Every structure is written in C-alpha cells, then in structure tokens.
Amino acid sequence: MRRALANQRSGASRTWVVADDAGGIVAYYASATASILRETATKRASRNQPEAIPAVLLARLAVDSGHQGQGLAGALLKHFILKALEVSSIVGARVLLVHAEDEEARAFYLHHDFEPSPIDGLTLMRVIKDVL
C-alpha cells in the first residue's frame, strides 16, 4: 500500500480504497494508463491497432485476507472497469490490461471475461468495447 500511495502522489497511478468502519484499509486497487505491444496482445485486441496498443492498466488489486470471500474483489474490478470506460472516452484506450500475480488471480480474471496474452498467460486483457 505504501507504494500505491507514493505512486498516487507522483501521478503514476490512482488508487481507490475500501475501508472498514474504523478506517482500516480492507481492499484497494491502483490503475494507470499503459500500452501493450501488438504481438503480445490477443488477436481480437490487436486487430487494426498500432504497434503500441493503448490500455488502462489494473496495476494492483488486493483484499485483506480477513475480508476475502465477501465479493470485494469483484466489486473493485467492476469499479475499475467503470472508471476505465470514463478514461477511454477521454484519452482513448483499446483494452483493459492486468498482470495476474499467480494462477489464482489468473482464474479470477478469466472468470471476468479477460483473455490471456498468447505469449504470457499471466498477462490478461479485455477489449473495452466488449464491456459496453
């Protein structure tokens, strides 16, 4: 979380937080603009796109272990997608992008209609217009 705060202050990313009644952080995500090279993107994402495909990156999504299983990750992902739609209408972006930390995280994103990169199964993306 310290890194997220430093990145927020420097403008490198934006962080959204879920807090409990006592003000403790129970979940958060960080997002940023990014790009992905065409050869690392899915066929659908790379079709008719420049070499560097514009993206909105879900840089980090975390839920405290004591609050897992309550739907917070899914709710934060939905919030990220809604914010990414806003961003893409202003700056232009083709895909939502995430780098899954492990196979469990990969399964979570696959369940939410993200598709793996053909060269890196832990890099997943979803074409933004498919969300609309």
Active site residues: 109
DSSP sequence for 46-86: HTT--SEEEEEEEEEEEE-GGGTTSSHHHHHHHHHHHHHHH
Can you state the percent helix, strand and coil of the chain, rounding each to 5?
A: 40, 35, 30
Q: Give whole-number Cα distances, 25 to 21, 67, 97, 108, in Å.
A: 10, 10, 24, 21
